[in-house]
Structure 1
Amino acid sequence: MKINPKNGVDQLLFGMKQSHVEAIYGKPSKQFKDEDGNVIYLYNTEKLRLTFYEDEAFRLGYIITSNEEAALLDKKVMGKNVTEVKSELPFKSWEQEDFDSTENHFNESNWLILQSEFDVIIRVEIGAIIKDNDEFDWKFKA
């Protein structure tokens, strides 16, 4: 499962509609709306959480995965030491935020979060990039 910074994960591209995603993965294991009216798809087998933004015509804008096969720039990251992974990536600017036993390591230029617990990566979050004019840089062109 390849994580493509600024683009998406595997065949999923930021900007896809729910029908495009369902053509690839089928119906989600679970679906619900969050407090902002966004549609959330959960795919249990793939360990994916997909967010379709309500205020962007329900385009795919955010992906969270804890899939053991998740690879960032061709390197598997789940269960790996977060400090080592960050040192091997070409992204050098990281902000860290602590939450009890977990930490979020955020790289804004790629809208990428490596979430760690006990110094190992437990999930990766990636979001669509917002351009200078405050519009999303949608990668999927329907």
Structure 2
Amino acid sequence: MKINPKNGVDQLLFGMKQSHVEAIYGKPNKQFKDDDGNCIYLYYNEKLRLTFYEDEEFRLGYIIISNPEATLLDKKVIGKNVEELINELPFKSWEQEDFDSTENHFNESNWIILQSEFGVIIRIEIGAIIKDNDEFDWKF
């Protein structure tokens, strides 16, 4: 499962509608609305959480991945030491936030969050890029 910074994951591209995603993965295992009215799809086998933004005509805008096969620039991510991976990646600007036992390492230019617990990455979050004019840079 290849993470493509600024674009999406594998065949999933930011800007796809629910019907496009369902043509690839089928119906989600679980579907619900969040507090903002966004539509959330959960795919258990792929270990994906997909967010379709309500205020953007339900376009795919955010992806959370917990799949152990996920790669970022050909490097496996899940289960890897977070400091080692950050040092191996070409993205140099990272902000860190602590939440009890977890930490988020955020790279704004690629809109990637590496979430770690006990120093090991447990999930990756990737979002669509927002352009200078406050509009999303849709890839689909």
TM-score in terms of structure 2 length? 1.00
Partner in structure 2 of residue 80 of structure 1: 80
Question: Aligned with 2:23: secondary structure?
Answer: helix
Alignment of 1:35-74 (within 5 A): 35-74=35-74
Question: Aligned with 1:19: secondary structure?
Answer: helix
Kindly report structure 1 stretches of 4+ aligned residues shifted beyond 3 Å. Answer: none
Unaligned runs of 5+ in 2: none
* 1:27 and 2:27 matched: yes
Unaligned runs of 5+ in 1: none
State the 1:65 CA deviation.
Answer: 0.5
Q: Deviations over 1:9-43 (max 9, x none)?
A: 00000000000000000000000000000000000
State the 1:83 CA deviation.
Answer: 0.2
Partner in structure 2 of residue 92 of structure 1: 92
Partner in structure 1 of residue 115 of structure 2: 115
* Identity within the alignment, %: 88
Question: Aligned with 2:19: secondary structure?
Answer: helix
Question: Aligned with 1:109: secondary structure?
Answer: coil
State the 1:119 CA deviation.
Answer: 0.3
